[in-house]
Amino acid sequence: MPSSAAEDEPERPDPDESADAGANGKRRRRKPKKQRSFWVELPILIVVALALAFVFQQFLARVYTIPSGSMETTLHGCTGCYGDKVLVDKITYDFTDPEPGDVVVFKGPEPWVENEVATERSGNAVVRFFQNIGSVFGLAPPDERDFVKRIIATGGQTVQCCDAQNRVVVDGKALDEPYIHWENPDNQRQEPFDPVTVPDGYVWVMGDNRNDSCDSRCQGGGGVRGAVPVDNIIGKARIIVLPPSRWGGVSDHNPQAAAQPAALGMSAPAWQEGVPLGFGVVAAWPAVWGGRRLGSKVREAVERKR
């Protein structure tokens, strides 16, 4: 029976097998590829992770440590309590404008930082390096002069304090601010300030811990100099990431959404509010007493005529 060409063709040796054959004709086994040691790969993984985290925090979002108590109790930063670490969204304001109620982190403009002292860094180069790394990743206070406050008014709006009920007023309407924290419950009064029209491209910011916050009311001497350029805003505070007990979103309640027409003029303390009533009673007493005396005289005269 005739055989096919494929069957007649001799089997060709595999080139790799030929290469593996030794001088004596014996085939040598291939050496398995040596895997990298875990300790060799670990530094590479760490460098890649740090690079990704650096890019993320530089361009997308960054963790910031709250260093003071000016935003109590929305954000903790007081002495003796755990300073909150918040994730700040850096890209939101590339697409939208800052709005009243947003809690923002911003670089202090010149009037804000002219009397500020920058965070000191160690003279030791190694320690300073780790301090700078910790600052980038939110593990140490930043050396730049950054602030966190809540936006109260935006460019073109007029803000002042206060109305008869001790509320901040924007464009003639009293704000709804349930987030305000009073360190002294017996003194729930805000420092008054004259009307300020916020320049275009600026925002007016204040702390939630209203009586323990140096903000647009006092920075730069107050007034227009206290306003913050929109270009200085780094981003919007979104999430409290540490401590775990305070995980959650950061309130961006808009105080202007439920604003009501305001009756301007500071209300008086309770003891003063009673003064007009007291004067009224004192002034009315002679008339009441005289009326009663006159009535009794008239009755006596009528009785005598009878």
Residue of 68, 149, 213, 216 marked catalytic: 149
Q: What is the mean pLDDT of residues 180-188?
A: 88
Segment 34-66, tens digit of pLDDT: 677 778 788 889 988 888 888 887 889 999 988
pLDDT digits (tens, 9 = 90+) for 100-132: 999 999 999 999 987 665 555 556 666 666 666
pLDDT at 8 over 60: no
For the chain, the 3-state helix, strand and coil shares in percent, each to the nearest 5, are 35, 20, 45
Please report the pLDDT score of residue 279 as a whole number.
Answer: 44
Residue whose token pair is 């790799």: 16
pLDDT digits over 146-158, tens only?
Answer: 999 999 999 999 9
* Lowest pLDDT segment from 110-114, 203-207, 263-267, 287-291: 287-291
Q: Considering the candidates 68, 70, 213, 216, report the single residue annotated as catalytic.
A: 70
Torsion angle of the four alpha carbons 258, 260, 265, 271, in this order, in degrees rounded to the nearest 10: -70
**Which domains are seen in the chain, by residue range?**
59-261 (2.10.109.10)
141 pLDDT exceeds 50? yes
pLDDT at position 126 is 64
Q: Establish whether 149 is a catalytic residue.
A: yes
Mean pLDDT value across the chain: 78
Q: In terms of residues, how long is the chain?
A: 306
Higher-confidence residue of 28 and 76: namely: 76
Please tell me the distance from the alpha carbon of residue 186 to that of residue 216, in angstroms, as a whole number: 25
**Dihedral-angle region of residue 234 (phi above 0 means left; psi in -120 to 50 means alpha; beta otherwise):** alpha
pLDDT above 80 for 165: yes
Greater pLDDT, 289 or 261: 261
Cβ atoms of 102 and 153 within 8 Å: the answer is no
Provide the pLDDT for residue 26: 55
Q: What is the pLDDT of residue 298?
A: 46
Task: With H, G, I as helix, E, B as strand and everything else as coil, classify residue 220.
Answer: helix
Measured distance CA(83)–CA(36) in Å, rounded: 42
Query: Where are the extended beta strands (E) located within the chain?
Result: 61-65, 85-89, 103-107, 146-154, 158-161, 168-170, 173-174, 193-197, 202-206, 228-229, 233-242, 248-249, 260-261
Per-residue pLDDT, 103: 98
- As beta bridge partners, residue 229 has 202
Does residue 301 or residue 81 have the better pLDDT? 81
In the residue annotation, 37 being an active-site residue is answered as no
Tell me the pLDDT tens digit for each residue of 57-103: 788 999 998 888 899 989 987 655 668 999 999 999 999 999 999 99
C-alpha 58/C-alpha 236 separation (Å) is: 14
Edge-first strand order for the sheet with 168-170 is 193-197, 158-161, 168-170, 173-174, 260-261
Most confident of 123-137, 195-209, 257-271, 272-286: 195-209
The identity of residue 197, as a single letter, is T
Per the listing, tokens 């959650």 go with 248
